[in-house]
Structure 1
Amino acid sequence: MDNDIDSIKIEIIQQKEPPMWLLHANSVQHEEMSDIVHRMHDLVHCTLRQIQTFIHKIKDSVRMFGKNVGSCAHLRTKNGKTFVKHLKMFLDEKEKELKEKFEKDITDKCRSLVVKGSILNEAIYGRELEYYAQVCLQWKSIERHFEDFKRKAFHAFIKDSKQTWKFEKYDTETDQILNQHLERLEKVFSSDPYVGIEEEQIALIPAMLLRVEIFCRCAQQGLELFKSSSTILSKINKHTVISISTATGSGKSTLLPALLAADGYGKIIVTQPRRLACNSMSDRVNKTIGKISGWAVAGARSKNDHNTHIMYLTDGLLKEYLQYNEGKIISEAANCVRGMVFFIDEVHERAVNIDLCLAFLAKLLQLDLKGKVKIILSSATMDNSVQELFQKFNNDYFALQIESTLRFPVHTSRIKINETMFDLIERLKKDCKKHEQILCFVKSNTDVTQSIDLLKQLKKIDAFPLIEFQSPIIQQKLVAEEQIFFSTTVAQTSLTFPSLKYVIDTGIINIPIYDPHTDTTVLTKIPASHSTITQRKGRLGRTQPGEYFPLYNSHVKRLDFPTPQICQTELSNIDFGLRKSSEEKDSLETFKQLLPNQLDQAIIIRAHNRLKKLGILVDGKQFTQKGKDIAQLPDFGTLELSTSVHAALNKYNCGRDVILLAAILSVLNTSTILPKLSNKYKRPEEGDYMSLLALMHDLSSQPTSINNPELADIQHYLRRALLRLKIFETYFSNTSTKSEWQKSAKISSDNWYNIAQAFLDGYWENVYISLDRLQGRNKRYGRYSVTPEEFDDCRKQTAVLDRATVISQKLHPECVFARDIICSTAIRTTSRLSFLGIIPAAWLTHEIERKVKVTATEMTKFKEEIFHSIDHHITYSTTGHEIIFKGPTGKVFDTEQHVREQLCNEYKWFLPDKESLKNNSMLRKNMPKVKRNIFMPFLWRWQNEKQVEKMNIEKESPTLLKIVATCREKDAESIVEELNSFFNWLSQCESFQNEQTDNVQPQQLNSSNSGIEQRIKRVTDANRTWADLKQAVSQGTRESRMDVIAWTLVCKFHCKLHGAFVRDRIINNRVSPSSDANPESWVNYERKSGIPVLHSKITPSTIDCHLPIQDYFDIELLLDEIHKYEDIEVKVFRQHCQYVLLFDEKALTGPFIVNLTEPHVALAQGSIDFDIDNLYVEREHPQKLRQRVDLSGPPCSSDLEEIVKKIRMYHFKVLRPIDDDRVRESLKKLKSQGYSQDGPPLTLSPSKSS
């Protein structure tokens, strides 16, 4: 056959399946041909098997790859499905391509083997085909393309994401920055540990997809800060600590944490200074960027907080986390690929917890963290002290200033001249388009309420409050729906306004400032810092163009940053917490080096001493057993409250009661909840604690009662209280808690004595006694548990009860204790007691020392008569003029009260004395006219202010008064001295008139004097508004300020305004000298009396008033009323039955004086020296003048119109002989002011007086 091979012809019939072979040969070759055919079929089958094997192996590889991809649950998300779709597409395309290419190649190989293998049988074609297929699998394996497919799918996913989250308005720079981030992610995706197709590498893909989405959605927001994001992330990557200062509203609080998540950091903890901000910031991130954020505040947290990249916490929660979880933090950071980030936002606020967080972070940096912890300090502005702290403990610090602008322009405009805030709001409201909003910043919650009321009263415009004690739900609802708002600092950072157009800023804030030297915290009005002003202005320009109206003086000195609160706060709680968390190794003393600003050593000493007073420390360093016990308890907010809970559990069998109270007291910063309680809860005989306990018993036993409509306004407080209660209950039900505490925490006595005793264990320093029990003023309370000499600030020593208390205003309890002692610059000389419990003094067992000042006579009486009756529990000692009592508080109080009562004597006087009556004819003439009624204000004053008992004045005879009083020796001397002063005036009075004989009718001037009537109305119209009065003080002249004080005296205190002010201000409308005169030189002081007098040329100089005869006049109430104006300063001088008040001694507008005279003395001073001083005005006749004496008859013959005419012409008549120095001095002063005398002096006959 070999020789005849050329004669053999073989054909394949292609259309047959399997193929048919046609052989053209000699018959002898057919046998051989049969073998060829067999080999040919075998070659084909071998080829088909290799194709099937190849396809099977490709599918196996794809299937295994798909299995690894499919096993990753996180790729079943929307992002994952998009990525897998692209990956499958690339796999399918490649699988088809490889299959077709292999079939072609293996078929060609098969053809090449037909002759050599099948016909000539010179090759083992099966091996060759198998070898060829293996080579093809090796060089054309689909596995070799898997990594490329991953990258291509990732790239395709990026393109899809950019399209899905495309910009609303394209910005080239933003797109370039986004591409930089995405290109960097593609490089990361192509590097270890992402290379590979095993489950371990596949599991890393979802996080990368999310990072792409986050970057795209961050860019979509269109915020300026994104354009700096490459720089920011690069600096954060290179440095351990970085401070970022950027414009308010730039998005640093929401965008920057999201960018950190996109950059691959495993855990990002972001602090916010307020609870609402945590929730709102997290929601905003989840809505705009994706569900990557959670939040947590005390007692509440989001449901997704365990599986989020970003966690928003209050600075208080972060402080606790850092303080108690140092080991956990190190472990968590080590397990994060890029580590964890602590993002401290709003650092410029420098709250106590923010400074403590900074200190704990500085401490953390001293450990070997291997670069796994990053610290970001974010603020619109940054204080250098923060930077210096971290540079001290870590050189790897970088300060980054990002120049960014708001999305919309903001302009600053000034208020118009003589325009009030309410005028401005009215004007802006008219300019507002639909839904545009106005936000007004004022200093306090009281100002918020007053401003809303006044805006409604003056302009018929509704406004709404935004204050920190509101429910966050209510705040968000108001911001979404209403137009005009008044707020304090709460609206600076926590709220987002959808259409804020205008911000009006008074530039003032109220801040609590602690004075360690007096142990007093005072809510103080101060100018807002520049950083605070920046925050407020930064509310604008976020959703539309804005306009900022500063109502403050730009020249007022302001701090660049607020003083750190930790430097002006009482820190005993912090000291205790440091000792507790460090197992008594740390304290404020050792920890202070970690704080950005150095503490006053006096603050540290005070905190240390308070721990000792509460029985928590012994020998100044170690915990007592009581201290160790309290350290095991949950945090109840304050040491005093923790001490009270401890006492309830261990001594007074009322653990459940006090725990219920602790739950609600720990969430209440204000007593505004108390008036809103239903009457069924109120316990006015026992006070606020038992009222709150009734409420908490109801809520804890019937949780659905919280939905009662009566509780709607306070529901947010109650929900927080119930969350706190749940935490406390969990602790006391835990098996690791002391077994005796587990039992006592369930005991409810509902007995006020037991509960009060438990609270007194913590609040014993806050016990106050009604001063009227100690010969003091009515409705005032004195701090009784602490010796007053320990303090210089009297505000904490004298107090009034909070009006919000459930205690009836008619009920005047002998003794109370308070949770809060509130001192404020808005309250002049007292403090306000809040959260009150009424207790008998007998319940007070704490040991105290009290001092009672006495005269020499009283000391003798005490030693000879009184000391025998002193309780045997009391020890006493005496010094020159003091008796000192020591013992249990209740016993000391009873003893002091008893001694004071025994030192009182009954005194009787018959005045004036016979010698004075004999020698003074004027006194004898006037005495029959003196009636008892004119002394009533005098009597009321002594009774209300000194508790003088059985005081009475009666006519013994026509020329003699009988005065009776039971009082102390010093008071008796003062009473006689004051009455003798009255008789001295009476002896010089030529026209004494009892109040009841005044029949000169008020008159209205003719229409040509409308200006005078307007000025009368200015001081007598009771309907003048607070806004009008406030503006007259803050923006007015010296004369307008005098008008306000005159109005207050006439309209609020029913005084009669007479004398020079009526003459010079109301009639002549005179003003003080020009502004180039030095106002401080206007005041002189009389040598003997020390009473201030103004320079004679100052006009008007004084406001002269007669105090009302029908009412008790309380000088303290007047000073409180004046104090409300804030910008007025006043000094009080006391003469017999007369007050002299010096106003504005150092004010640029210039000082003035007010003389207030009690009725009996005012009547004794009734002589009229000059006809033009005969006028007065009063509240009952707001546009009319009255005359003190009728001058229409001879010798004066001047009616009201004539007197007014003379004043305006600067003429006057003298109505009495010029026979004493007082009249001569008055005449000289009048002439120096430009007045001319008409004719010789007249003699006004008393009989002509009405």
Structure 2
Amino acid sequence: KSTLLPALLVAEGYDRIIVTQPRRLPCNMISQRVNSMVNDNISGWAVSGKEHNVQANILYMTDGLLKERLLNDDNLITENTHVKKSVVFFIDEVHERSINIDLCLALFARLLKLKPALKTKMKVIISSATLDSSVPALYRNIPGCSLIEFNLVSLSTLYTVTVNDAPKENLLDLVQRLYSKRNRHDQILCFVGSTFETLENCRLINKITKGAIVAYPLIQSQSAIDQQKYIEQGTVFFSTTVAETSLTFPCLKYVIDTGLINMPVYSLQLERTELQEIKAAESTTKQRRGRLGRTQPGEYYALYDYTSGEQRKYPVPQICQSELVNIEFALRRSRLKTSLKEFQQYLPDKPKKEYIDDALKQLQRLGLISSSSNESFTNLGASIAKLPDFGSLPMAKAVYAALKQYRCGRDLIALSSILSVLNTSAVLKSIPIQYKRPEGDFMTLLQVMNAILMVRDAVPSKQFDLDRVCAAKGLSAAVHVINPALRRYKNLDKAFSLSDEFRELARIQSGNWENIAKALLNGFSDKVYASLKMLQGKAQQFVKYNVNQRRSNNQQQDSLNEVTEIAVIDRSSTLRTGNKGALPAPLVIARDVRYLTAVRSVSILSFVGQLESSWLEYIFSRELQLNEAEEKKLKDENILKQATQRFSQVQIQVNNRKLVFHGASGHILNAELYVRQQLVTVLNFTLVSDYPNNPHDNLTRNLKSITSMPGDLFGPLRWRWESEQQVKIRTKMHKNNGTIEVTVEGIDSQNQAVHREFMSFLSWLRTCAVIRHPNSGK
């Protein structure tokens, strides 16, 4: 359907056939296959930043590129387009139901409904191995639109495919077994749930077999050239969904399917996107099985055992489970000047109203559209709408601030280019030490980009060989990231060169982290985290520190001793420190905050940079819960008055046992630290028996045994509280009367927690039958 049908349409006299593919590599590969098949150069291809023979009769392009042209190209197809027969738009692999595919379907539906005259100029082919009924229903309901459906009752492969149920098989064991029995050129393709699993399984199979089996990853961030090279040369592959469609492996013999997909799902309640492992739909596993039987007989191994009805028939359309703010902005900035509220009528499956409302609220919170009834662009929104698409509105805001305010436009454009192709921070581990900067991951990545761009700009383009440059710079392990990042930078550079307003500003390079950080804060101010080493002494833990801190309804207000949303820095980050190493950065900004599940209590910060509190210029409020003793100490010792005088830029008050700070975020942080220090108090208590004069009392006997023991019995407890909570604990044993004096120094809520732990220990001693001496076993 992807190769032969477009060629037949050319033979039938259709003026032009534009065929979409979900990914970059198939555009190139299928185009070459068509030209080889007909022995003529009738096909070309176009992807973002790269194209070949684009005036050919058949043009293969990504569905994302077609979406952009439908949104912004007035001349793609009009009533004045001259045709002999008609232009054919061929949307392939529709079963994937990606956001770009659904938007293309909706844009064509809108075009056919609002401009009926175009029905004589164009035809739309919707092609898929399996298809939900909502897609044909969309076009069937367009007045005057003729819909012809063709369903193949049974589709057999050229060669036989044997299906094997193997739910109890270990993936890597099965790969080794199939590898040992395969013929020389047979290939093995394994479908796993995520990019991390793809890379990790490649590493593990190589390690387990001591290099005998070399496996190649197939992931979204790779270049088409790399993917094609792997497919032509490799034997074992671990892949995400990228290998499900349009790719033909020359000697594929075995497919192993875990039956799982890691899907980003937006939670409206938690206001965040989480990576959820879900069961692959029936249509998805069918596509994976369909990779086989094309060049030789194949064997499909299902590592899942789903009961009837456990799998969905079709995957949930991504537009129905994704954050919609970028789509809302794209529609408003496009030539259509529309909104999701109006546009949703053309979608095959409509997002829920509350998700559309959430997108609108986010745009208002970002300051891009007004809160008035007309919901028009603000001045900032109108300005950002003139910028190229950065794929992220926070990054677009950061770039705009860099261009207009902080004079570091080129730095942010280069930084955004590499960040846009990074879904995980794993690449940071492969970057040599000479590129790593103490300011954190942003400057490390910028250092890498600058090193490559300096070479690229110094030599003629035909002489620039990225593989050789990366090898010379020690960056070969990151070339799969740098390659698409350079393509992205080239596209952005070209777009800015066409802008009279931004052309010169985009060429200004600062290299100063303070300026770059302040620009990033314009977009990512809701991802600022303070170290609990400063606030509470937990060495590797951070807490969100800004106005946009998001809580679900069942989360409680922060107290001086407890925080509801804890974060740790990704292990790949240059700012990650060990428990016994350097102190963690006191304040950081992150691009990504990852939540693996909705109930996860600790989030992971990826792509992190260190901040100074004086750089935080935005205004917000922060509330901390006090206990009764802490509130009394604040008032009795005039701590509140002293803090107000010392930090005049911050409004500080106590209301209903809540300590409330309001002002510039950097000053709030310093004010909070001061108040915490002033609230430190000392608590003394003694562990003593209820019946100290009764030698037969269980507690009395056990306390006597403990106080007579050598060594520091409470050392681990004391070290834990001091390293994690900055609470100092001193204990003094009295052998003569079997008592233990305890002194605790911290804020009252912490002191009370320590007291409860010691009382729990005392309660245990009351019921403990025997306390053995440490040397009793010798």
TM-superposed deviation, 1:552: 0.7
SS at match of 2:77: helix
Show the counterpart of 1:406: 157
Q: Which amino acid aligns with 1:844?
A: L
Show the counterpart of 1:1046: none
Q: Which amino acid aligns with 1:697?
A: N
Candidates 552, 556, 573, aligned match of 1:805: 573
SS at match of 1:335: coil
Q: 1:998 to 1:295 in 2, by over 3 A?
A: farther
Show the counterpart of 1:391: 140
Show the counterpart of 1:427: 177
Show the counterpart of 1:971: 750
Show the counterpart of 1:673: 427
Equivalent pair of 1:848/1:887 in contact (CA under 8 Å): yes
Matched, 1:444 2:179: no
What is the alpha-carbon distance in structure 2 between the residues aligned to residue 950 and residue 903 of structure 1?
14
Q: 1:789 to 1:863 in 2, by over 3 A?
A: farther
What is the alpha-carbon distance in structure 2 between the residues aligned to residue 997 and residue 495 of structure 1?
70
Q: 1:800 to 1:287 in 2, by over 3 A?
A: farther
SS at match of 2:511: coil
Show the counterpart of 1:1102: none
What is the alpha-carbon distance in structure 1 between the residues aligned to residue 130 and residue 465 of structure 2?
47
Show the counterpart of 2:44: 294
Equivalent pair of 1:520/1:796 in contact (CA under 8 Å): no
Show the counterpart of 1:341: 88
Show the counterpart of 1:1053: none
What is the alpha-carbon distance in structure 2 between the residues aligned to residue 687 and residue 427 of structure 1?
44
Matched, 1:572 2:325: yes
SS at match of 2:534: helix
Candidates 274, 279, 286, aligned match of 2:23: 274
What is the alpha-carbon distance in structure 2 between the residues aligned to residue 444 and residue 963 of structure 1?
51
TM-superposed deviation, 1:949: 2.0
What is the alpha-carbon distance in structure 2 between the residues aligned to residue 343 and residue 256 of structure 1?
10
Equivalent pair of 1:787/1:850 in contact (CA under 8 Å): no
Matched, 1:646 2:400: yes
SS at match of 2:675: helix
TM-superposed deviation, 1:456: 4.7
- The alignment-based identity, stated in percent, is 40
Q: What TM-score, normalized to structure 1?
A: 0.57
Residue deviations 1:775-826 (CA, integer Å, cap 9, x gap) = 2643122111245464359799432212222225344111111111122239
Show the counterpart of 1:764: 525
What is the alpha-carbon distance in structure 2 between the residues aligned to residue 789 and residue 745 of structure 1?
34
Q: Which amino acid aligns with 1:743?
A: E
Q: How many residues align?
A: 738
Q: Which amino acid aligns with 2:470?
A: N
Show the counterpart of 1:961: 740
What is the alpha-carbon distance in structure 2 between the residues aligned to residue 316 and residue 791 of structure 1?
34
Show the counterpart of 1:852: 624
Q: How does 1:103-118 map to 2 (within 5 A)?
A: none
Q: What TM-score, normalized to structure 2?
A: 0.90
Show the counterpart of 1:222: none
Q: How does 1:504-653 map to 2 (within 5 A)?
A: 504-555=256-307, 557-582=310-335, 585-620=337-372, 621-653=375-407
What is the alpha-carbon distance in structure 1 between the residues aligned to residue 537 and residue 283 of structure 2?
46
Equivalent pair of 1:819/1:834 in contact (CA under 8 Å): yes
Show the counterpart of 2:511: 750
Show the counterpart of 1:708: 470
Residue deviations 1:440-485 (CA, integer Å, cap 9, x gap) = 2121233234434544555665241322233433332232223222
TM-superposed deviation, 1:323: 0.7
Show the counterpart of 2:482: 718
Candidates 743, 756, 763, aligned match of 1:984: 763
Bigger relative contact order (CA 8 A; separation at least 6): 2
Show the counterpart of 1:1131: none
SS at match of 2:127: strand
Equivalent pair of 2:79/2:118 in contact (CA under 8 Å): no
What is the alpha-carbon distance in structure 2 between the residues aligned to residue 651 and residue 673 of structure 1?
31
Q: 1:731 to 1:484 in 2, by over 3 A?
A: closer
SS at match of 2:520: helix
Structure 1 outlier segments of 4+, above 6 Å: 793-796
Candidates 202, 208, 231, aligned match of 1:479: 231
What is the alpha-carbon distance in structure 1 between the residues aligned to residue 692 and residue 101 of structure 2?
74
TM-superposed deviation, 1:914: 6.6
Q: 1:826 to 1:631 in 2, by over 3 A?
A: closer
Q: Which amino acid aligns with 1:422?
A: L
TM-superposed deviation, 1:630: 0.9
Show the counterpart of 2:540: 779
SS at match of 2:299: strand
Show the counterpart of 1:360: 107
What is the alpha-carbon distance in structure 2 between the residues aligned to residue 878 and residue 326 of structure 1?
59
Q: Which amino acid aligns with 1:630?
A: I
TM-superposed deviation, 1:902: 2.1
Matched, 1:697 2:450: yes
Equivalent pair of 2:527/2:589 in contact (CA under 8 Å): yes
Show the counterpart of 1:867: 640
SS at match of 2:148: strand
For the aligned residues, what is the CA RMSD?
2.5
SS at match of 2:385: helix
SS at match of 1:817: strand
What is the alpha-carbon distance in structure 2 between the residues aligned to residue 768 and residue 801 of structure 1?
10
Residue deviations 1:385-433 (CA, integer Å, cap 9, x gap) = 11121122244112211243111111211238x6433343333333322
Equivalent pair of 1:452/1:462 in contact (CA under 8 Å): no
Residue deviations 1:870-904 (CA, integer Å, cap 9, x gap) = 31121234332312211111111222222223222
- Gaps in structure 2 of 5+ consecutive residues: 457-463, 556-562
Q: 1:801 to 1:859 in 2, by over 3 A?
A: same
Q: How does 1:1210-1225 map to 2 (within 5 A)?
A: none
Residue deviations 1:1224-1250 (CA, integer Å, cap 9, x gap) = xxxxxxxxxxxxxxxxxxxxxxxxxxx
Q: Which amino acid aligns with 1:493?
A: T
Q: 1:793 to 1:909 in 2, by over 3 A?
A: closer
TM-superposed deviation, 1:358: 0.9
What is the alpha-carbon distance in structure 1 between the residues aligned to residue 183 and residue 598 of structure 2?
37
SS at match of 2:265: strand
Q: 1:619 to 1:419 in 2, by over 3 A?
A: closer
Candidates 51, 73, 80, aligned match of 1:325: 73
What is the alpha-carbon distance in structure 1 between the residues aligned to residue 226 and residue 378 of structure 2?
46
Residue deviations 1:721-774 (CA, integer Å, cap 9, x gap) = 33333333333333x522xx3332222222111111111001111111112323
What is the alpha-carbon distance in structure 1 between the residues aligned to residue 598 and residue 181 of structure 2?
35
Q: 1:746 to 1:554 in 2, by over 3 A?
A: closer
Equivalent pair of 2:691/2:697 in contact (CA under 8 Å): no
Equivalent pair of 1:466/1:491 in contact (CA under 8 Å): yes
Q: 1:425 to 1:619 in 2, by over 3 A?
A: closer
Equivalent pair of 2:401/2:519 in contact (CA under 8 Å): yes
Q: Which amino acid aligns with 1:566?
A: I
- By percentage of residues, which structure has more helix? 1
What is the alpha-carbon distance in structure 1 between the residues aligned to residue 197 and residue 322 of structure 2?
24
Q: 1:318 to 1:876 in 2, by over 3 A?
A: same
SS at match of 2:504: helix
Equivalent pair of 1:391/1:397 in contact (CA under 8 Å): yes
Show the counterpart of 1:1075: none
Residue deviations 1:639-668 (CA, integer Å, cap 9, x gap) = 111111111111112122222222322333
Equivalent pair of 1:285/1:293 in contact (CA under 8 Å): yes
SS at match of 1:813: coil
Residue deviations 1:170-196 (CA, integer Å, cap 9, x gap) = xxxxxxxxxxxxxxxxxxxxxxxxxxx
SS at match of 1:961: strand
Show the counterpart of 1:1069: none
- Gaps in structure 1 of 5+ consecutive residues: 1-251, 1000-1250
SS at match of 2:85: coil
TM-superposed deviation, 1:828: 4.0
Q: 1:476 to 1:515 in 2, by over 3 A?
A: same
Matched, 1:951 2:729: yes
Query: Considering only CA atoms, is the larger Rg found in Structure 1 or Structure 2?
Result: 1
What is the alpha-carbon distance in structure 2 between the residues aligned to residue 901 and residue 935 of structure 1?
25
Q: 1:561 to 1:770 in 2, by over 3 A?
A: same
